[in-house]
Amino acid sequence: SSRFCEVQQAPPIEVFAVSKAFTDSTSEKKVNLSVGAYRTDEGKPWVLPVVRKVEQELAADNTLNHEYLPILGLETFATAAAKMLLGSTHPAITGGRVTAVQTLSGTGGLRVAAEFLGRVLKYNTAYHSAPTWGNHNLIFKQAGFTNIAPYRYWDGEKRGLNFDGMIEDLSNAPENSVIILHACAHNPTGVDPTQEQWKKIADVMEKKKLFPLFDSAYQGFASGDLDNDAWAVRYFAERGFEMMGTQSFSKNFGLYNERIGNLMVVVKDTACITPMRSQLTLLVRGSYSNPPCHGARIVSRVLNDPALFEEWKGCIRTMSGRIIEMRKGLRERLEKLGTPGTWDHITAQIGMFSFTGLTAAQAKHIADKYHIFLLSSGRINMCGITTGNIDHVAEAINDAVC
Ligand code: PMP
Annotate the chain with three-state secondary structure: CCCCCCCCCCCCCHHHHHHHHHHHCCCCCCEECCCCCCCCCCCCCCCCHHHHHHHHHHHHCCCCCCCCCCCCCCHHHHHHHHHHHHCCCCHHHHCCCEEEEEEEHHHHHHHHHHHHHHHHCCCCEEEEEECCCCHHHHHHHHCCCCEEEEEECEECCCCEECHHHHHHHHHCCCCCCEEEEECCCCCCCCCCCCHHHHHHHHHHHHHCCCEEEEEECCCCCCCCCHHHHCHHHHHHHHCCCCEEEEEECCCCCCCHHHCEEEEEEECCCHHHHHHHHHHHHHHHHCCCCCCCCHHHHHHHHHHHCHHHHHHHHHHHHHHHHHHHHHHHHHHHHHHHHCCCCCCHHHHHCCCCEEECCCCHHHHHHHHHHHCEECCCCCEEEHHHCCCCCHHHHHHHHHHHHC
Residue of 34, 129, 187, 256 with the most ligand 1 atoms within 8 Å of its CB, for mutation: 187
| Ligand 1 pocket by Cβ (under 6 Å) | 36, 105-107, 133, 182, 187, 215, 217, 248, 250, 256, 261
**Does residue 131 carry a pLDDT above 90?**
yes
CA of 139 to the centre of ligand 1 (A): 12
Which of 83-87, 185-189, 230-234 has the lowest average pLDDT? 185-189
**Does residue 376 carry a pLDDT above 90?**
yes
**Does residue 390 carry a pLDDT above 90?**
yes
**Does residue 259 carry a pLDDT above 90?**
yes
CA of 131 to the centre of ligand 1 (A): 15
Q: Which atom of ligand 1 is nearest to the CA of 187?
A: 3
**Does residue 386 carry a pLDDT above 90?**
yes
**What's the whole-model pTM score?**
0.96
